[in-house]
Amino acid sequence: MIDVYAYRTGNGLRPCIAMAECELEHTVHFVDLSKGEHKTPEFLKMNPLAAIPVMVDHDGPGGKPLTISQSAAIVLYAAEKSGRFLPSDGAARALAMQWLMFDTSDVAGTNNAIFMTTMRAPEKVPAVIEFFEDRLYTLFCNADERLADVEYLAGEISVADLALYPFVALRKPFLEARDALSNLERWTASMAARTGVAKGMAAFD
Amino acid sequence: MIELYACDTSNGQRAAIMLAEAELEFHTRILNLQAGEHKTPEFRKINPVGAVPVIIDPDGPGGESLTLAQTGAICLYVAEKTGRFLPEDAHIRALAFQYFMQAMSDVVLYSGAYSFSLMRFPEPSEASTKVFKDPLLEHLGYFDQRLGEAEYLAGEYSIADIALYPAVNQRRELYEEAGGLHNLDRWRQMMAARPGIAKGMQLVA
């Protein structure tokens, strides 16, 4: 049995989607960031950085419990545990990792920078916010161009698609306000139609 | 022989030290970021997104040539190709992925955005740079704490250490100003003394 501790953010939804898509038995626990539930002594024992998501696999490697944080690491762990969403072909596997890191270093990072500059910064500097917003849109354009050639980011569906989806889904209004990206839209619709993706996205409903 | 295209950034250093640590033969081509050499039509044939680092491995999976972007994906590919720096024990492996992803998402984001805020904020005030500097120092402090209980991040030497090193090296002054991080500093010196690290850092100086 796996426990996932998360909140409804891009990073928080990743393990919810991955566990559901990998069909691993799991329970999602809502960590109310607005009430500081990520800063309680119990939570800090799981992740001293007070950040969601966290996963506890009570039946981890060697039958021992395993606690890890970092959404992309949790997605990889679920994929390896279930033997799914990691292409067996070497080249496709390398591309899956390339796009997983694109999702993680670039998309999630830029998305977080927008949050920091709009919500956390003491001064809201329009030029800086615009820089990060333009960068996020450029990254979505990169994914759109890729998806013109292939159905899924690595060719076949992989961890890369699972890790990107919640960021695209939560940024719907952002994307609707800009030039349409038809390939990304097609991909978004096919991802949304998947049972596991839908279940993961509804984890906090 | 593997071709590495890189700029003199911490991501370029990550790819170079990974290749050197894995003792793969490679040739480094340094692109001039200021001159936009990563955005030329020739380079876009290699990486349409116009981002470095990129490797071309003529002896990729199945004996075919593989072109791969994304720093984190290059590290993972090299680790899998050589069977090194990815712990075999599943528990330690999951931890290696966790720290690796923390380096490739949180640290890369805050360190990059901190540099950006110093350059791009119209008048970089203490308050507007703190929004990235504080979480960067928080993450470095967390690594310091971890390195107080383990020699290397995952327990044994792994891709997580390789991914973190260039940022720690780059931010040495910053954490020394903030009071110093004893365990992180011990680890930094131990890392610097490795021949592969020294060679890679020298290639992308």
Model confidence over A144-195: pLDDT tens digits? 999 999 999 999 999 999 999 999 999 999 999 999 999 999 999 999 999 9
DSSP secondary structure code for residue B86 in this structure: S
- Token pair, residue A89, equals 């072909």
Tell if the CB–CB gap between B94 and A122 is shorter than 8 Å. no
* Contact (CB, 8 A) for A121 and A129: no
Model pLDDT, residue A124: 83
Mean pLDDT across B19-39:
94
Question: What does pTM read for this prediction?
Answer: 0.97
- Token pair, residue A204, equals 């906090």
pLDDT band at B124 (very low <50, low <70, confident <90, very high): low
Own/partner pairs, B7-10, CB within 8 angstroms, 24+ separation: B7/B31, B7/B32, B7/B33, B7/B38, B7/B52, B7/B53, B7/B204, B8/B33, B8/B204, B8/B205, B9/B33, B9/B52, B9/B204, B10/B108, B10/B111, B10/B166, B10/B167, B10/B170
Average pLDDT, chain B: 94
A47 to chain B, closest Cα gap in Å = 10
Mean pLDDT across A191-200:
98
For an interface test with A, give the residue of B97, B116, B159 to mutate (most A CBs within 10 A): B97
Chain A and chain B share a number of CB contacts under 8 A equal to 132
Model pLDDT, residue B121: 66
Secondary structure element (H or E) that encloses residue A55, with its range = strand A54-57
Q: Can you tell me which residue has the tokens 């839908």?
A: A198
Cβ-Cβ contacts under 8 Å, B148 against chain A:
none
For an interface test with B, give the residue of A76, A86, A98, A131 to mutate (most B CBs within 10 A): A98
The predicted complex's ipTM stands at 0.96
Find the range with the poorest average confidence among A185-194, B79-88, B121-130: B121-130
Tell if the CB–CB gap between A105 and B104 is shorter than 8 Å. yes
Give the pairing type, strands B2-6 and B26-30.
parallel
Secondary structure element (H or E) that encloses residue B55, with its range = strand B54-57
Q: Phi and psi at residue A69, in whole multiples of 5°?
A: -115, -170
Query: Of A174, A204, A77, A121, nearest to B114 (Cα)?
Result: A121
Whole-angstrom CA distances from A139 to A61, A145, B80, B103, B137 are: 36, 10, 27, 20, 27
A120 to chain B, closest Cα gap in Å = 7
Question: How far is B181 from B51, CA to CA, in rounded Å?
Answer: 33
Model confidence over A34-76: pLDDT tens digits? 999 999 999 999 999 999 999 999 999 999 999 999 999 999 9
CA A2, chain centre distance (Å): 18
Whole-angstrom CA distances from B57 to A19, B61, B78, B197, B199 are: 34, 9, 10, 21, 20
Tell if the CB–CB gap between B61 and A77 is shorter than 8 Å. no
pLDDT at B128 over 80: no
pLDDT at B122 over 70: no
Question: How far is A128 from B103, CA to CA, in rounded Å?
Answer: 24
Model pLDDT, residue A128: 83
Question: How far is B6 from B1, CA to CA, in rounded Å?
Answer: 16
Angle between helices B159-170 and B195-203 (to 10 degrees): 50
